[in-house]
């Protein structure tokens, strides 16, 4: 079946051929044929694969990209779940954010020497990806044992989710662990962070389901939002005593002044926990999925409880919000099955009265 708009679809072989630049310059290829294609061939002359061009093509298995393409747009192959391999030609200079997000069956990818820009989370949720190779002549990026870094190796950009190793030592000289750098690295039980690291990005270790313990070195001054979100086997977060920004008390992560409780490890075995006096803020997702906890005591020093602070604490049976609390985030008890099935289990002390909600 041919089409005057610059593409042709062979229904027998389920092959979509694209030969017009304008077809892929739109936000999305506006044809149902793209969702029925198992194979896509882009002809010479096309220069850009547009934003979301092949998003959701769940049965796409292979694609041929010509040497004329220079740009792969944001989310271009987002959730192409059946894609097992892709050859990026030497002409490509830019790979967009989330370009290969959710390509579950992609096992290996090679970045050619021409690429100078890789967008945020280009390989997000690629759970089958075991290695990211980079052409040795690339002057912007480098690969070490299949792990993606910037060229001078000061930033770890992406550790492949499906890499089979259970242990990993981040190389010395790395200063920054990027956003989602270890996202869904389900095989890793142990990660060693060197003293050179100063910054840990948002969601850096999110969904590292096998990670049991981690130590924050003394040089770290920034830990991004939800860095340890949904690490369901994490029992302790240790912090070097010389760190001037963060501290750990019994494996629980706080700021140095202990006024903010940042993260209680999901797998910490205790059934009861008393938040220390002096804490004023319970951070966003601070107790998310802490399924062993049946009781949490909040001191009168706490004034703020962040979004989803106690979300999915499935064993929590009772909690009291003290009258010192002036701000409560959204969804703080979502997924607290035992708590929410008993309307008498959440006590608000004088919170409602103080906020005009009698």
DSSP 128-185: T--EEEE-TT-SSEEEETTEEEETTSSEEEE--TT---SEEEPPTT--EEPTTTTTT-
Query: Residue written as tokens 């703020």?
Result: 304
Q: Edge-to-edge strands of the sheet including 236-239? A: 167-169, 190-192, 213-216, 236-239
Cα–Cα distance measured from residue 296 to residue 102, given in angstroms and rounded to the nearest whole number: 37
Round to the nearest angstrom and report the end-to-end CA distance of the chain: 68
The 8-class DSSP code of residue 188 comes to -
pLDDT in tens, 5-63: 688 888 899 998 988 877 666 545 546 667 789 999 999 999 999 898 898 899 999 99
Q: What is the mean pLDDT of the chain?
A: 92
Q: Are 232 and 209 in contact (CB under 8 A)?
A: yes
What is the per-residue burial (b if ≥16 Cβ within 10 Å, else e) of 263-288? bbbbbbeeeebebeeebbbbbbbbbb
Backbone Cα Rg of the chain:
24
Given a contact cutoff of 8 angstroms between Cβ atoms, the answer to whether 140 and 150 are in contact is yes
Q: What is the DSSP pairing of strand 2-3 with strand 295-297?
A: unpaired
Q: Which two tokens stand for residue 326?
A: 């002036």
Distances (CA, A) of 126 to 62, 63, 160, 180: 16, 17, 8, 12
Query: 66-103, pLDDT tens digit by residue?
Result: 999 999 999 999 999 999 999 999 999 999 999 999 99
Look at the domain 270-358 and name its fold: 3.80.10
Nearest CA-CA partner of 65 in 83, 90, 82, 84: 90
In angstroms, the CA 198 to CA 3 distance is 54
Rounded alpha-carbon distances, angstroms, from residue 342 to 173, 285, 296, 329: 52, 22, 16, 21
CB 94 within 8 A of CB 115: yes
Each residue's pLDDT, cut to its tens digit, for the chain (358 residues) gives: 445 668 888 889 999 898 887 766 654 554 666 778 999 999 999 999 989 889 889 999 999 999 999 999 999 999 999 999 999 999 999 999 999 999 999 999 999 999 999 999 999 999 999 999 999 999 999 999 999 999 999 999 999 999 999 999 999 999 999 999 999 999 999 999 999 999 999 999 999 999 999 999 999 999 999 999 999 999 999 999 999 999 999 999 999 999 999 999 999 999 999 999 999 999 999 999 999 999 999 999 999 999 999 999 999 998 999 999 999 999 999 999 888 665 546 656 654 444 544 3
């Amino acid at each position: 079946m041919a089409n005057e708009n610059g593409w042709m679809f062979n229904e027998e072989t389920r092959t979509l051929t694209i030969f017009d630049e304008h077809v892929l310059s739109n936000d999305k290829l506006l044809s149902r044929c793209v969702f029925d294609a198992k194979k896509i061939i882009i002809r010479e002359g096309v220069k850009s694969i547009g934003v979301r061009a092949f998003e959701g093509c769940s049965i796409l298995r292979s694609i041929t990209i010509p040497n004329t393409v220079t740009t792969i747009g944001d989310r271009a192959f987002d959730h192409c779940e059946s894609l097992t391999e892709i050859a990026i030609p030497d002409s490509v200079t830019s790979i967009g954010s989330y370009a290969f997000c959710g390509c579950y069956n992609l096992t290996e990818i090679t970045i050619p020497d021409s690429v100078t820009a890789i967008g945020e989370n280009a390989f997000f949720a690629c759970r089958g990806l075991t290695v990211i190779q980079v052409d040795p002549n690339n002057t912007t990026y480098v690969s070490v044992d299949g792990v993606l870094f910037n060229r001078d190796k000061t930033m770890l950009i992406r550790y492949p989710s499906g890499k089979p190793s259970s242990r990993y030592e981040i190389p010395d000289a790395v200063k920054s662990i990027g956003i989602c750098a270890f996202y869904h690295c389900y095989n890793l039980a142990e990660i060693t962070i060197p003293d050179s690291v100063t910054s840990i990005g948002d969601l850096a270790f999110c969904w590292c389901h096998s990670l049991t313990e981690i130590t924050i070195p003394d040089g770290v001054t920034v830990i991004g939002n939800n860095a340890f979100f949904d690490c369901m086997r994490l029992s302790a977060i240790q912090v070097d005593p010389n760190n001037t920004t963060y501290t750990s008390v019994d494996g629980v992560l706080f700021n140095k002044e202990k006024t903010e409780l940042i993260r209680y490890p999901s797998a910490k075995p205790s059934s009861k926990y008393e938040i220390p006096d002096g804490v004023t803020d319970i951070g966003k997702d601070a107790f998310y999925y802490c399924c062993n906890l049946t009781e949490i005591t909040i001191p009168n020093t706490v004034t703020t409880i962040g979004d989803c602070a106690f979300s999915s604490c499935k064993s929590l049976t009772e909690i009291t919000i003290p009258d010192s609390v002036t701000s409560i985030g959204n969804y703080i008890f979502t997924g607290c099955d035992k708590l929410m099935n008993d309307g008498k289990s959440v006590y608000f002390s004088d919170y409602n009265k103080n906020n005009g909600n009698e």
